A and B are shown apart, each in its own frame.
Chain A
């Protein structure tokens, strides 16, 4: 029996800035994890990844990352993805910096 599909988001890095970005349901790339499209179907996930991979002039290295539903939108489930939503822990740089200004 194949393993049950767990929810995912499509994420990548922005080509010009390098910043972490997420694919939204309306085909935008957002800097915010909670705006990502939470994908609950495996076939749809593959289609969305294909869609992302077709934008090489905009994004680098798209992949499916584990996520779960939260009150404000999708939330990361793994600590690596959680760090990607914020930035490093030694300085308030990255996304957490943008959130402070």
Chain B
């Protein structure tokens, strides 16, 4: 993975020194909050419901054991001993004190971690397939390009005050695990003959106006990527609306102007930007690529793995849900669930972080990933090491066998933390997870994505959940809307609202009715909820959610 060079280290140290001075001036009264707010947001510092929150960038979701250990140290020393991994592959500390934040940033800077552009109307952390570099279905590892984008977009002078925030996602696989169609720009690696390039999508996004991105280029040669991105963002910077915050995202720019008009403007600008790029970006990319060479995979028997599968049903269950196919023979991709039943989705204690760092070091070629689904990935594990890893994970409550199941829920922090939230998300996720485990239906239900947002901004990706839950404030009471049929993959779809919302304590019973209807109506256990929904349409599921209305209509 990428190691900071002298330039990066000096840049970050200087930036942190600037922010330290800004914090000092805020505390001594020489800066007002109005003056300070944009400065702190540029460095990832929010003021939330109960406390400050520091959002720390994990570029394209990749980190090494030293960085993970540093998160644990920082959480113990300056926070409450845990961190929250987010749907943008970042980590958030929920309880930092203002005066400590410069020390936190300096400490993180020592291991090549920053919080720059994790907020504000800038280009945010470029998110990537969390299986990048390991997936069996991958064309190329997209992370060198993601790192190039990080370097290009960080402190880019033209893009510090965009009309609104700007999010880029990238995947190197045809199976889209990076939700590329729900980003301002989605990049999908594709092949044309022998050449590798990108399908470029633009204008996707969730939030109050959910839209799927449209193809602006079906094949962009790799070497043209940065000038083309620069053309898109600078076109948006000019064409994007600044009169209305809710119409300022690029999806509205594309929608209001039409993809053809927007594309024509981008292509015109691209002629200029391409001429300005001398090729130095490609030289830099070559240097980055050299740092992403695959680990030296070993050729070893997997007998121990097979034996554990045969003898240990707990291990077998975990292997059945939490492993994915690796491109190297004898290897597996391990998803470590941060969704233990009843726990907060995406939270990891400092002890858990340390264990994950140790395991990555001992068994995982020093690599860790954070998924947008708020789990941690050990991307390169030889199968013979899996029994030992599973045994170690159990000691810290990290061996939950539920990846892809009903309890593997995405949930935003919601009104337990977030100042923007209109309702809570976390306890809804906790109750769904514990309830379906208690009634023994989790395995029976099988593959299912539930995604929960505590406000219309949709950080919890509810629109693309098979079942989406959106928490709102209805006349001073928490109320939850359910959407059905969303899809976050390469067959992306926005879920449709099922009907009136449910009171807080009616959400779990409603979900149970819905899923009992699914079990009843599926052709066989292998037909998943989303497949059954596509086959049957929403009617039988709506009838299950609203039995009284169905009865009245009968």
Contacts and interface: CB of A to CB of B under 8 A. Distances in A.
A88 interface: yes
Given A15-B98, A18-B97, A88-B417, A94 B29 contact: no
Interface in A7-40: 13, 15-20
Interface in B479-510: none
A60 B415 CA distance: 19
B440 interface: no
Contacts of A18: 47-48, 50-52, 95-98
Nearest to A20: B50
A83 B32 CA distance: 27
B97 A78 contact: no
A17 B53 CA distance: 11
Contacts of A100: none
Given A16-B27, A94-B51, A61 B33 contact: yes
B478 interface: yes
Contacts of B28: 57
Nearest to A80: B415
A60 B33 contact: yes
A56 B32 contact: yes
Nearest to B417: A88
A56 B34 CA distance: 10
B438 to A, nearest CB: 19
Chain A residues touching B, range: 20 to 34
B426 interface: yes
A88 B99 contact: no
Nearest to A57: B29
Contacts of B33: 56, 60-61
Nearest to A87: B50
Nearest to B30: A57
| A interface majority secondary structure | loop
Contacts, number: 75
Contacts of A89: 416, 424, 426-427
Contact of B344 (A20, A84, A90): A90
Most chain-B Cβ atoms within 10 A of its Cβ — which of A18, A19, A87, A93? A18
Interface string B39-70: 00000000111111000000000000000000
Residues of B in contact with A, size category: 20 to 34
B476 A16 contact: no
Nearest to B96: A18
Nearest to A86: B50
Contact of A84 (B26, B50, B94, B478): B50
Interface string B66-87: 0000000000000010000000
Given A16-B97, A16-B98, A56-B32, A79 B476 contact: yes
A7 to B, nearest CB: 15
Contacts of B223: none
Contacts of A60: 33, 47
A17 B427 contact: no
A17 B97 contact: yes
Nearest to B46: A18
Interface in A35-87: 56-57, 60-61, 77-80, 83-84, 87
A19 B98 CA distance: 11
B322 interface: no
Nearest to B343: A90
Nearest to B45: A18
Contact of B416 (A15, A56, A83): A83
A20 to B, nearest CB: 6
Contact of B27 (A13, A15, A19, A91): A15
Contacts of B478: 79
Interface string B465-487: 00000000100111000000000
Interface in B416-447: 416-417, 424, 426-427, 430
Q: Which of A13, A20, A84 has the most CB of B within 10 A?
A: A13
B44 to A, nearest CB: 14
B433 to A, nearest CB: 12
A62 B430 CA distance: 33
B119 to A, nearest CB: 16
Nearest to B35: A56
A60 B419 CA distance: 13
B39 to A, nearest CB: 14
Contacts of B344: 90-91
B49 A84 contact: yes
Contacts of A16: 27, 97-99
24 contacts: A13-B51, A15-B26, A15-B27, A15-B98, A16-B27, A17-B51, A17-B97, A18-B50, A18-B52, A18-B96, A18-B98, A19-B51, A56-B29, A56-B33, A79-B415, A80-B49, A80-B473, A87-B50, A89-B416, A90-B430, A93-B50, A93-B80, A93-B95, A95-B50
Given A18-B95, A78-B476, A93-B80, 17 more contacts: A15-B26, A15-B27, A17-B97, A18-B52, A18-B96, A56-B29, A57-B27, A61-B33, A79-B415, A83-B415, A83-B424, A88-B416, A88-B417, A89-B424, A90-B344, A94-B51, A95-B50
Interface of A: 13, 15-20, 56-57, 60-61, 77-80, 83-84, 87-91, 93-95
* Top 6 closest pairs, chain A to chain B, by CB: A88-B416, A18-B51, A57-B29, A18-B52, A94-B50, A90-B344
